[in-house]
Structure 1
Amino acid sequence: MNPYLEIIVRSSAVYLFMVVALRLFGKKELSQLNTADVILILLISNSVQNAMVGSDTSLLGGISAALVLFIINYVLKKLMYRFKKLNDLVQDKPEILIHNGKTEYKTLAKLGITSDEMEEAIREHGVEYYKDVKLAMLEIDGNISIISGEGYLKQSHHKRRTHKTLS
């Protein structure tokens, strides 16, 4: 087999494996990486490098693998935009955490969001009490969005962090 065709096939297989692995193990945690997450990403990239390029450690082999990954990523994003079922398969859905002041405890438990994290997000959005929250959502990128029942809306970003003991 042509060595560059082999790199294309190997890189494609690794990319698809990583998409499936992130989907299975959850990507909500990727919104804010802690030290353990960064180390994991570095080790994964090192471990799959040989799987992608095989024995070809040349500059052209590395560039070929990187180019294949960029192309696959571009095509996957276009396909996800075009085909809703593929998008649903690859990407998580936003989750309602609070609706009209009522906390969705089952959802919080399922997602592993503590009451302290929820209270922090509410305060960061300038809201004092749960009952004042019209809607709180865990977005697909791991951010918590909050809409208060007040006349003005304050925009801020709360990225969910993993507690040190969970890493």
Structure 2
Amino acid sequence: SDLFTMGVPVAEKVIRTVAVYAALSLLIRVFGKRDLAQLNSHDLVVMMLVSNVVQNAIIGADNSLWGGVLGAVTLFAVNAVVVRWLRRNATVERLFEGTPTVLAHDGHFDEATLRHEGIRRGDLERAIRNQGADDITEVATATLSPGGAIVVELKAGDQNASRADLDAVRRHLDARLDAIESALR
């Protein structure tokens, strides 16, 4: 039975898992930084096929329960170590994760960057609307973060007022009205 008997030595299983993790991390870094929420149907098909393709590279000739558990534990452990290492060193984080990319600036799309990053104009327009702008003319900058999220900064005149902003205006007007009333008495 293959249930508890591993067909591959533990060290080989760990090395295989770490190697596949490193290779996939590099491929993701090279081929773009779109967020999972921005994946289109073709990207989803690729992700599903990649998981199937690398399965044998991780498990080798091993169909045991313990071999699968060891592979999963190794993936989680390697990921935890890598994430903590990246967060402690800004230079290494920039090297592995990249830097933000400007997709739109001062109310205009950067079409070349959108093409390069594989982001459709409609997807950026949707992200802009989701973050409070009516259209591109209200955008100071829209950037694609290294993690794949689109971050929109509105022009000062197009930013929404918060309750604190409204309260400050109300207090200012109340003070002015009190001053006028006092002057009239």
RMSD of aligned residue pairs (Cα, Å) = 2.5
Q: Where do residues 44-83 of structure 1 align in structure 2 (5 Å cutoff)?
A: 44-83=50-89
1:152 corresponds to 2:160: yes
1:87 corresponds to 2:129: no
Q: 2:167 maps to what in 1? A: none
Deviation at 1:83, TM superposition (A): 2.0
Q: 1:142 maps to what in 2? A: 148
Deviation at 1:151, TM superposition (A): 4.6
Counterpart residue type for residue 86 of structure 1: V
Cα distance in 1 for residues equivalent to 2:161 and 2:22: 40
Counterpart residue type for residue 152 of structure 1: N
Match of 1:4 among 7, 10, 32: 10
Deviation at 1:55, TM superposition (A): 1.3
Q: Which has the larger radius of gyration?
A: 2
Highest RCO, 1 vs 2 (Cα 8 Å, sep ≥ 6): 1
Q: Is the 8 A contact 2:33 2:117 kept in 1?
A: no
1:15 corresponds to 2:29: no
Q: Where do residues 82-121 of structure 1 align in structure 2 (5 Å cutoff)?
A: 82-121=88-127
Deviation at 1:49, TM superposition (A): 1.5
Share of identical aligned residues, percent? 35
Q: Is the 8 A contact 1:97 1:108 kept in 2?
A: yes
Q: Where do residues 122-141 of structure 1 align in structure 2 (5 Å cutoff)?
A: 122-141=128-147
Length-normalised TM-score, structure 1 = 0.76
Cα distance in 1 for residues equivalent to 2:119 and 2:23: 27
May I ask how many residue pairs the two structures share in their alignment? Answer: 153
Q: Is the 8 A contact 2:97 2:147 kept in 1?
A: no
Length-normalised TM-score, structure 2 = 0.69
Counterpart residue type for residue 9 of structure 1: I
Q: Normalized per residue, which structure has more helix? A: 2
